[in-house]
Structure 1
Amino acid sequence: MGRTIFAGGTVVTAEGSFDADVLVEDEKIVAVGTDLSYEVAETIDVSGKLLMPGFIDGHTHMDMPFGGTVTADDWATGTAAALAGGTTTIVDFSLQDVDGSLGDAVDTWHEKARGKALVDYGFHVAITNLAQVKDEISRLPELGVSSIKIFMAYKGTPLYAEDADLFEAMQIAREAGVLVMVHAENGDVVAKLQEQALAAGNTDPVYHALTRPEEAEAEATNRAIQLAEIAGAPLLVVHVSCAAALEPIHRAHELGQTVYAETCPQYFVFSVEDLRKPGFEGAKYVCSPPMREKWNREPLWRGLQLGDLQIFGSDHCAFNFEGQKDLGRNDFTKIPNGCPGAEERAMVLWTHGVLEGRVSENQFVAVLATNQAKVHGLYPRKGMLAPGSDADIVVWDPMLETTATVANRHGNVDYTPYEGMDFHGGPSEVYVRGNLAYKDGDVIAEHGSGRFVERNFTHPAI
């Protein structure tokens, strides 16, 4: 591609905002400054708009088997939804087959993405059988993978890991330069509460939340942090949903421990009351950790403000209401866990965070792009608007008004939990490596145009 100048906009970075033009050439940013001019350059007028680095979503589940079914969004429809939300790079979870290798998992996910992905992408590896693959962890960086995920929840499934395995994985990962991510819920407690609920005849969706109490998340979060401290390993706690789980994270930061933490949009706009909706409607809001009492939102906002929560991911894990969510119509434990959110992630944060004065536009960029790039080993190639970085650019229109409906979503799900929700501000155009990929509601990128990006974890200070 030739030279392109994005002219007349306001550049918004994690550090500050300023009026500047952005010059792009050969998929890279060449210069950021005022009065940039080249005789042979296409000029794109972005007056009145904000120029931001392409958003990164380090927590998606595309085409993933779970609970006897497979997520509704594959790599074509899921990345279309991500693009419509301003996301130009995702990091998805390749799932180890219980009898397979980590290399096999990565290869399988490459096949899932090939010919479909509309955005750039990387992979985590979710480990289901540590004993079989512990020797492989040190070789993951050779595959461009810099993180593994361990599940402290889902007891009785291959995902569940005992403390001994979690701790050993931390020790191995520390030596390999690989980041350990945890889904922190006490699997034993949740399993026992579920058993007791079903025995009492409590089968409705709300019992998904009631059997996964905040204390179970808080206890597991604290346990993972303490184990990581003993192992001398950095840790990423994903989808933090409540104040009780945030407390040990804040304490770890005060003590100087390297603990990264993520939260997600659903915890800022939905609550346990949504799971109480009449009929089986509550199943649409079933995800893990579950929606919490509304009062948890303010502590989570403070976590973003203070930097205890450094990244804002979607945990996009979409299942259709008909034929998937309704597998648990008579047993809440059989409702597939997960909600769509890749498309709405940034708009939730802008509407309820920036516009309501809870976070600045610079913090917005930090938790959606820059910190994501640092934590997930993509920085400085991704996550910033600076010479040498990929020309992943979001043209953000602060005046854009959107009402979410299932009809105007870009994914492949038969409902949206955000139905009827109004968003103020959103992406008008999205560029992946300088190539126009989304404009005014339409996905333009070609399937397969997304590229695999190798990642390298560097223990960033944020």
Structure 2
Amino acid sequence: MHELVIKGGRVALDDGWADCDIGIDDGRISAIGNGLSGETLIDAAKRWVMPGGIDAHCHLDQPVWGGAGNADDFESGTISAAFGGTTCIVPFGMPGPDMSTIGAIDRTLDRAAGRAVIDYGLHAVVTMGTGADVEQQLSELAGRGIASVKLFMTYQGFAVDDDLFFKVLDTAHNLGWIVMVHAENDAAIRRTRQRLIDLGRTDIRYHVVAHSETMEREATHRALAFAEMTGARMTIVHVSSWQSAEEVARARSRGVDAIAETCPQYLFIGSADLDRPAVDAARFVFSPPPRSPRSHQHLWQALIDGGIDLWSSDHSPYFFADKIGKAETPGFTTTLSGIPGIETRLPLLFSEGLLTGRLTLDRYLDLTSRNAAAIYGLANRKGSIAVGLDADLALWDPEVRWTLGHAALHSRVDFTPYEGRTVTGKPTSVLVRGVPVIADGVLKAKPGFGQFLPRTAADPARSGKPVEETTPWLDA
């Protein structure tokens, strides 16, 4: 007799679909089979039982930069995530001005405590202003369950120089951490932005020019070359274009431990969406920007064949008034970059990837939960429906058709770039550690139910060989 049994669902196991029951005890999956009995039963008839999603790239309750703070804190953001079928997130301990990397983690843990309704880890962030003692700070955080760090190659206040880049890569290599990189060439963006301003070309559509595919491609190539030199593991976040995706593939062919992440906005929004009246176009401003149909097609194929490893939201929640600012006519120089997506991430891929047959179940599970768990040190707890793992489950109605829109979503952000898009399939009940957070479309969990998850770094001995340890004179 189990504490809880999910009965009669079509269950997405690692080796395929199975019509079976799931037994749950002490918050973990204790049995998978038929005819299981439990003190409490949840009827999953006509439902697809999926692993809870893991969103390893999202932003919540960050310090104010540029005059605007996040609309979502850890309460509203995790509620929104849960309604979208996500049971675990790994956002960033983002530093404010002159805040250390450790200080940023401490701030974020304080902001999350008592608010989250699903489980969460944190990524560290290093900038030029987070302190000279990078190795010491990251080593201390490793003892506190942090296993990844993000670097920016652009944005004033965030972009790191090459010396700091290498210092972080070397430290991460020794710790077994993975380094996440926002890859865009900052000098090229600043140069092109100013030339566009001088030419009077400040309409929002020029955001695509100021952050061209070439600038992303060059930075991706350079970041991966740095990973190759140091032997570090690297995730190129929000790969937006075919050019950057090809750089990742080329690096892998050279033996670089390179991981590629993309986001829904790079498959479902295009550069033509910025060629609209300003206030309408502002809904589609994010960085890197939306790309061409060629990039859409290339990224879909990469999702299918494994060229892309991760499907993340890059949820960047701003109220629309803050996003467009006080400019009489919003332009690419005045509109804040970033869109919401923590709740729509899984429904979009479920509808347009899994149900259409574009993606196999195996690829869908890799992209939405399994790979994030394996890459970011959560595979001992999360990512699959398997005995011994946390009972993080989402029961999906695969037939319901519904319309994405602000009124249907749960983020505090007052717009969505997917307004009016119809999708098929919706999570109706969501469990975290065997406890219903959402039950038949109704929020049940109280703020604070979600727990901080210490994560496990990889074995440093499995990292690549840095260039100083090579012996080219012995090469054939």
Give the percent of matched residue pairs that are identical in Structure 1 and Structure 2.
Answer: 37
2:5·2:42 contact (CA, 8 Å) conserved in 1?
yes
Partner SS for 1:31: strand
Other-structure match for 2:101: 102
Q: In structure 2, what residue type is equivalent to 1:137?
A: L
How far did residue 325 of structure 1 move? 2.6
- CA distance, structure 1, for counterparts of residue 270 and residue 383 of structure 2: 31
Conservation of the 8 A alpha-carbon contact between 1:431 and 1:438: yes
* Residues 45-89 of structure 1 deviation map (CA, whole Å, 9 limit, x = unaligned): 112211111100001100123322111111111111111110010
For these two proteins, the number of residue pairs brought into alignment is 457
TM normalised by structure 2 equals 0.92
Matching residue of 1:53:
51
- SS of the aligned residue for 1:323 comes to helix
Per-residue deviation, 1:229:
0.5
Map residues 363-442 of structure 1 onto 2, 5 A cutoff: 363-442=363-442
- Distance in 1, matches of 2:288 and 2:342, equals 17
1:390 counterpart SS class: coil
SS of match in other structure, 2:414: coil
Q: Is the 8 A contact 2:278 2:330 kept in 1?
A: no
Distance 1:331 1:418, change over 3 A: closer
State how 1:342-357 maps to structure 2 within 5 Å.
342-357=342-357
User: How many Å apart are 1:245 and its aligned residue?
Assistant: 0.3
Cα distance in 2, alignment partners of residues 2 and 323 from structure 1: 50
Residue number in structure 2 paired with 1:63: 61
Q: Which moved more, 1:9-18 or 1:138-147?
A: 9-18
**Consecutive unaligned residues in structure 1, runs of 5 or more:** none
Deviations 1:120-145 (A, max 9, x none): 00110111136523121122211211
Asked if the contact 2:279/2:324 (under 8 Å) is kept, the reply is no
How far the C-alpha of 1:315 sits from its partner, in A, is 0.2
Q: Which secondary structure does the structure 1 equivalent of 2:402 belong to? A: strand
CA distance in 2: counterparts of 1:327 and 1:213, whole angstroms: 26
Q: Distance in 1 between matches of 2:47 and 2:407?
A: 26
Contact (CA 8 Å) 2:324, 2:330: kept in 1 or not? no
What is residue 196 of structure 1 aligned with on the other side? 195
Q: Which amino acid aligns with 2:145?
A: G
TM-score (norm 1): 0.95
Looking at structure 2, the residues matched to 15 and 254 of structure 1 have their Cα atoms a distance apart, in angstroms, of 28
2:42 aligns to what? 44
Q: 1:333 deviation in Å?
A: 2.3
Alignment of 1:73-92 (within 5 A): 73-92=72-91
CA offset digits 1:4-47 (Å, max 9, x no partner) = 11111121134322222110011111111222235xx2121112
Gaps of 5+ in 2: 464-476
Q: Secondary structure at the match of 2:397?
A: strand
Change (3 A) 1:149 1:412: same
Question: Alpha carbons of 1:327 and 1:188: their partners in 2 closer, same or farther (altered >3 Å)?
Answer: farther
Change (3 A) 1:217 1:295: same
The 3-state SS of whatever aligns with 2:250 is helix
1:114-168 deviation line (CA, Å, top 9, x unaligned): 12111100110111136523121122211211111000111xx110112222122
Q: Which SS does the other structure have where 1:415 is aligned?
A: coil
Does the 8 Å contact 1:272/1:291 carry over to 2?
yes
1:184 match = 183
Query: 2:276 and 2:440 mapped to 1: Cα distance?
Result: 34
2:65–2:96 Cα contact (<8 Å) kept: no
1:172 match: secondary structure: helix
Report if aligned partners of 1:17, 1:362 keep a CA contact under 8 Å in 2. Answer: no
Bigger Cα displacement from structure 2, 91-100 vs 107-116: 91-100
Query: Counterpart of 1:453 in 2: which secondary structure?
Result: coil
Q: How does 1:303-318 map to 2 (within 5 A)?
A: 303-318=302-317
- RMSD of aligned alpha carbons: 1.8
1:212 aligns to what?
Answer: 211
